[in-house]
């Protein structure tokens, strides 16, 4: 055995271990990079080359955490010493120069060199490599599944659609047409690219331009398109042999169309419109009615979420401040901006802090505001009106208006006001009072607040202090029934055991639920005030006292309601026609009554339903039946023009029944369902009652009685 064989064994072991570790890290890093890249492509719609960026980053992080390339032969000698006890922890002798070893060390080295060929290679790195390959396989499967999520979603969406409302039919194309190319050019504000399709059914955004390019396999003299069975347009031939035809049209509403080649008509094809909806406004903070009590900051943190299908162009706050009272109320309007760049974003979260003092508001004033947003198409939408009011302590302490409105218990209002006055007086005199006197007066105010709270609790049917916020389901007063013996067959004694004959405290009043809820809120504020007065914190009790008084005054007299001012837009006058005296255009008012036409339409539709039901056996239609079907077809053409997705297939089936003069089960079912929807769509509207001629005599007699009574 050569002297360097031990060194070569450790060196080869390190190289093999390092190679297997690098392969394992490469497999695990590749799995992680595949999954991360698939998630980034699916969530953020990034290009596929992002994988080339993610993989080096993952490998760099893995090798940085455990730098295997820094491992030396000396490190592996310590490893084999711990792994193989037969080496007697002398593997480091194999790496030293033999001339530097002592006699004893040389003998030990020679001993372990004989043992090295008998040692088996470690299997641990190979097992870890297998684990890394399993992780790589799992990463490949996961990334493949993530890339298939959009297709699965589309599949489930198509399965989840109601088959009754969406009927998928195969397009029947005339044999003379060899190819079709429809180019849909959406409006610029949608920021969508143009797209091409080979189907006749069109689904486009409102205002899109549609270019039809039709190629025929034979020469055609005339090609026409009939829109909604009313408008007929002729196509232009692009070559001399009349095989290429072009037509362009801007679609603004839904409908259907039909091709006519030398008098031969095609099926009906649908035109669906994707409408441009106005921006959606959602105010998450504050609430619609906000009251700023004493001690609270006079600021509002406004948070708004805006969303639009194509993009938001602008949004602002329209604020109106109301100050004064009675006939002296004045209104000031201001426009507040969000100071942000919208950049036609589809979803945006806005926030703004409105300082009421900077707007010039004082205690007692009210603020009414709403959000107005515009999308990139110029459509505007606005939110509901939100109300913010600042409590006026001077108005709360005033006795004005106490004799008007709803007067529940007028003598109690003064008590709450007196508690506020005494609390403020105590705070002013705190510096001149001793600690014991201050606590005594604060506790006495707390006792007064408690008595007042108990007196208001009587309005909610509370008989004692224990019933305030107590559990009415535990009735200790029924203890006297426990000792009574039950009599067999005595229904009354059994009911006394399980029934509760007393009234429920909250139901023993005649107040409305809203008023009872506000009374409970008053008791809650009084309780908070009492708690702080009893704990010698009158400064903290003052806001609760004011809020209790405000709620009490709201019960007596509601705050004024705000009605937004509206402007009247009148038609502009024409100076050249003023004072001309021409009265030829002034005629008697005529009221057009379409009630009889609607009645006739409904009657014809119902008759058609019964006719189709009687023809399910396959009998041919007679001449009168064909006429009725033609009348029904006119009604269905109008319905299909407004809603082609619902009525277009039924219109096609109705024409088959009319032309073939036979009744097929599928066509009859489809037409009947459409007719039933048309009948349900005719909602009953109020009509003018027809008065008999004799009723005018009654009316004149009644008018004369009124004159005589005056």
Q: pLDDT by residue (tens digit) across 14-41?
A: 777 778 788 888 888 888 888 888 888 8
pLDDT at 508 over 90: no
Edge-to-edge strands of the sheet including 299-307? 280-285, 299-307, 347-355
The pLDDT value recorded for residue 185 is 92
Same domain, 62 and 143: yes
Task: Quote the tokens at residue 510.
Answer: 């005649």
- State the residue for tokens 């003092």: 357
The pLDDT value recorded for residue 280 is 92
Domain boundary among 248, 274, 300: 274
Q: Where does the pLDDT of residue 183 fall: very low under 50, low under 70, confident under 90, or very high at 90 and above? A: very high
The pLDDT value recorded for residue 373 is 92
The C-alpha atoms of residue 679 and residue 434 are separated, in whole angstroms, by: 86
Domain boundary among 274, 303, 331: 274
Minimum mean pLDDT range among 46-60, 348-362, 556-570, 613-627:
556-570
- State the residue for tokens 């005018």: 696
Q: Where does the pLDDT of residue 469 fall: very low under 50, low under 70, confident under 90, or very high at 90 and above? A: very low
Average pLDDT over residues 398-417: 50
The pLDDT value recorded for residue 502 is 46
Q: Check residue 281 and give left, alpha or beta (phi > 0: left; psi -120 to 50: alpha).
A: beta
- 707 falls within a domain: no
Most confident of the following: 171-180, 369-378, 494-503? 369-378
- 287 falls within a domain: yes
The pLDDT value recorded for residue 707 is 62
Most confident of the following: 100-109, 308-317, 468-477? 308-317
pLDDT at 255 over 60: yes
Burial of 68 (0-12, 13-18, 19+ CB in 10 A): middle
- 160 falls within a domain: no
Long-range Cβ pairs for the range 486-489 (8 Å, 24+): none
The pLDDT value recorded for residue 307 is 92
Task: Quote the tokens at residue 321.
Answer: 């401040």
E strands, 407-447, where? Answer: none
Same domain, 266 and 328: no
Identify which of 272, 286, 311, 476 has the alpha carbon closest to the alpha carbon of residue 386: 286
Average pLDDT over residues 445-454: 84
pLDDT at 154 over 80: no
C-alpha separations of 61 from 29, 66, 68, 334, 610 in Å: 9, 9, 13, 56, 77
Task: Quote the tokens at residue 374.
Answer: 């515009």
Check if the beta carbon of residue 412 is closer than 8 Å to that of residue 449. no
- 670 falls within a domain: yes
Same domain, 386 and 402: no
User: ∠373-377-382 over CA atoms, to 5°?
Assistant: 20
Same domain, 9 and 106: yes
CATH no. for residue 270? 2.60.40.10
Domain boundary among 366, 391, 416: 391
Position with higher pLDDT, 633 vs 164 = 633
Identify which of 269, 229, 264, 6 has the alpha carbon closest to the alpha carbon of residue 116: 6
Average pLDDT across the chain, whole number: 76
E strands, 548-665, where? Answer: none
- 155 falls within a domain: no
The pLDDT value recorded for residue 308 is 92
Check if the beta carbon of residue 438 is closer than 8 Å to that of residue 445. no
Same domain, 363 and 415: no
Check if the beta carbon of residue 213 is closer than 8 Å to that of residue 181. yes
Position with higher pLDDT, 508 vs 426 = 426
The pLDDT value recorded for residue 409 is 40
The pLDDT value recorded for residue 651 is 85
Look at strands 223-227 and 289-292 and give their pairing.
unpaired
Average pLDDT over residues 416-436: 87
Average pLDDT over residues 358-386: 89
Task: Quote the tokens at residue 178.
Answer: 């060899």
Q: What is the CA radius of gyration of the chain?
A: 44
Instruction: Give the rounded percent of residues in the chain with a pLDDT score beyond 90.
Output: 8
Same domain, 96 and 120: yes
Structural domain range at position 197? 177-274
Distance of CA 236 to the CA centre of its chain: 48
- Residue 304 bridge partners (DSSP): 283, 350
Most confident of the following: 251-255, 568-572, 700-704? 251-255
Task: Quote the tokens at residue 294.
Answer: 């004493």
Position with higher pLDDT, 511 vs 285 = 285
The pLDDT value recorded for residue 121 is 66
The pLDDT value recorded for residue 591 is 55
The pLDDT value recorded for residue 412 is 42
Position with higher pLDDT, 618 vs 313 = 313
Average pLDDT over residues 43-47: 76
pLDDT at 569 over 70: no
Same domain, 196 and 268: yes
Check if the beta carbon of residue 207 is closer than 8 Å to that of residue 215. no
pLDDT at 107 over 50: yes
Same domain, 352 and 401: no
Summarize pLDDT for 259-290 with one digit per residue, the tens. 999 888 888 888 999 998 999 999 998 888 88
Burial of 659 (0-12, 13-18, 19+ CB in 10 A): exposed
C-alpha separations of 139 from 39, 132, 134 in Å: 12, 10, 9
pLDDT at 401 over 50: no
Q: Where does the pLDDT of residue 317 fall: very low under 50, low under 70, confident under 90, or very high at 90 and above? A: very high
Task: Quote the tokens at residue 499.
Answer: 């029934």
pLDDT at 85 over 80: no
Minimum mean pLDDT range among 173-187, 403-417, 430-444:
403-417
The pLDDT value recorded for residue 478 is 44
pLDDT at 624 over 50: yes
Identify which of 594, 600, 589, 602 has the alpha carbon closest to the alpha carbon of residue 688: 594
What's the full length of the chain, in residues? 710
Is pTM beyond 0.75? Reply is no
The C-alpha atoms of residue 427 and residue 430 are separated, in whole angstroms, by: 5
Same domain, 294 and 374: yes
Q: Where does the pLDDT of residue 65 fall: very low under 50, low under 70, confident under 90, or very high at 90 and above? A: confident
Same domain, 59 and 128: yes
- 478 falls within a domain: no
Counting the structural domains of the chain, the total is 5
**376 CB neighbour count, 10 Å cutoff:** 21
Same domain, 338 and 226: no
Average pLDDT over residues 678-690: 61
- 412 falls within a domain: yes
Check if the beta carbon of residue 191 is closer than 8 Å to that of residue 310. yes
Position with higher pLDDT, 628 vs 69 = 628
Check if the beta carbon of residue 543 is closer than 8 Å to that of residue 295. yes
The pLDDT value recorded for residue 589 is 63
Identify which of 289, 301, 368 has the alpha carbon closest to the alpha carbon of residue 329: 368
- 702 falls within a domain: no
Check if the beta carbon of residue 41 is closer than 8 Å to that of residue 49. no
Instruction: Give the rounded percent of residues in the chain with a pLDDT score beyond 70.
Output: 67
Same domain, 133 and 257: no
The C-alpha atoms of residue 677 and residue 701 are separated, in whole angstroms, by: 48
Task: Quote the tokens at residue 46.
Answer: 């990034």
């Amino acid at each position: 055995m050569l002297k360097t064989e031990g060194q070569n064994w450790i060196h080869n072991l390190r190289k093999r271990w390092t190679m297997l570790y690098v392969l394992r890290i490469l497999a695990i890093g590749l799995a992680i990079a595949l999954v991360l890249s698939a998630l980034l492509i699916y969530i953020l719609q990034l290009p596929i080359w992002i994988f080339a960026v993610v993989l080096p980053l993952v490998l760099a992080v893995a090798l940085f955490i455990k730098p295997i390339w820094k491992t030396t032969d000396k490190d592996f000698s310590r490893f084999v010493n711990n792994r193989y006890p037969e080496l007697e922890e002398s593997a480091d002798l194999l790496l030293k120069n033999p001339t530097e070893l002592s006699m004893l060390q040389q003998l030990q080295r020679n001993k372990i060199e004989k043992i090295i060929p008998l040692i088996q290679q470690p299997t641990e790195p190979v097992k870890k490599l297998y684990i890394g390959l399993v992780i790589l396989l799992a990463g490949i499967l996961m990334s493949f599944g993530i890339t298939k999520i959009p297709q699965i979603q589309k599949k489930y969406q198509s399965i989840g659609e109601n088959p009754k409302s969406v009927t998928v039919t195969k397009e029947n194309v005339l044999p003379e047409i060899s190819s079709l190319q429809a180019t849909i050019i959406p409006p610029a504000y949608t920021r969508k690219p143009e797209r091409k399709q080979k189907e006749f059914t069109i689904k486009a955004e409102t205002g899109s331009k549609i270019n039809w390019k039709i190629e025929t396999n034979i020469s055609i003299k005339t090609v026409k398109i009939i829109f909604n069975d009313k408008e007929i347009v002729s196509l232009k031939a692009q070559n001399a042999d009349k095989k290429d035809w072009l037509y362009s049209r801007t679609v603004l509403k839904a409908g259907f169309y039909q091709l006519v080649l030398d008098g031969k008509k095609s099926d009906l094809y649908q035109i669906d419109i994707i409408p441009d909806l106005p921006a959606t406004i959602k105010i998450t903070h504050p609430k619609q009615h906000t009251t700023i009590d004493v001690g609270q900051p006079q600021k509002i943190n406004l948070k708004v979420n805006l969303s639009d299908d194509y993009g938001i162009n602008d949004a602002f706050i329209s604020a109106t401040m109301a100050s004064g009272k009675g006939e002296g109320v004045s209104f000031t309007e201001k426009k507040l901006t969000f100071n942000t760049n919208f950049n036609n974003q589809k979803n945006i979260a806005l926030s703004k802090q409105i300082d009421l003092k900077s707007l010039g508001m004082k205690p007692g004033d009210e603020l009414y505001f709403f959000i107005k947003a515009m999308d990139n198409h110029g459509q505007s939408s606005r939110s509901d009106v939100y109300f913010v009011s600042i409590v006026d302590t001077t108005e709360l302490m005033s006795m004005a208006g106490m004799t008007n409105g709803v007067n529940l218990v007028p003598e109690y209002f003064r008590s709450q006001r007196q508690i506020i006055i005494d609390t403020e007086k105590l705070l002013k005199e705190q510096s001149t009072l001793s600690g014991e006197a201050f606590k005594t007066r604060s506790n006495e105010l707390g006792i007064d607040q408690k008595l007042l709270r108990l007196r208001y609790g009587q309005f909610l049917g509370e008989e004692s202090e224990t019933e305030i916020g107590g559990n009415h389901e535990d009735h200790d007063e029924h203890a006297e029934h426990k000792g009574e013996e039950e009599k067999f067959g005595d229904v009354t004694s059994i009911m006394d055991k399980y029934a509760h004959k007393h009234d429920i405290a909250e139901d023993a009043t005649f107040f409305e639920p809203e008023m009872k809820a506000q009374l409970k809120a008053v008791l809650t504020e009084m309780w908070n005030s009492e708690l702080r007065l009893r704990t010698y914190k009158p400064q903290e009790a003052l806001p609760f006292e004011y809020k209790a008084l405000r709620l009490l005054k709201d019960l007596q007299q509601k705050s004024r309601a705000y009605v937004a001012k509206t402007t009247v837009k009148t038609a502009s006058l024409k100076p050249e026609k003023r004072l001309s005296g021409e009265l030829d255009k002034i005629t008697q008012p005529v009221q057009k009554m379409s009630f009889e036409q609607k009645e006739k339409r409904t009657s014809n539709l119902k008759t058609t339903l019964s006719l189709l039901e009687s023809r399910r056996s396959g009998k041919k239609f007679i001449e009168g039946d064909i006429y009725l079907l033609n009348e029904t077809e006119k009604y269905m053409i109008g319905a299909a023009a407004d809603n082609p997705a619902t009525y277009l297939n039924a219109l096609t089936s109705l024409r088959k029944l009319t032309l073939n003069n036979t009744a097929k089960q599928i066509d009859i079912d489809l037409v009947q369902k459409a007719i039933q929807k048309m009948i349900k769509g005719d909602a009953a509207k109020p009509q003018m009652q027809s008065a008999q001629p004799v009723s005018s005599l009654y009316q004149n007699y009644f008018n004369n009685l009124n004159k005589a009574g005056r």
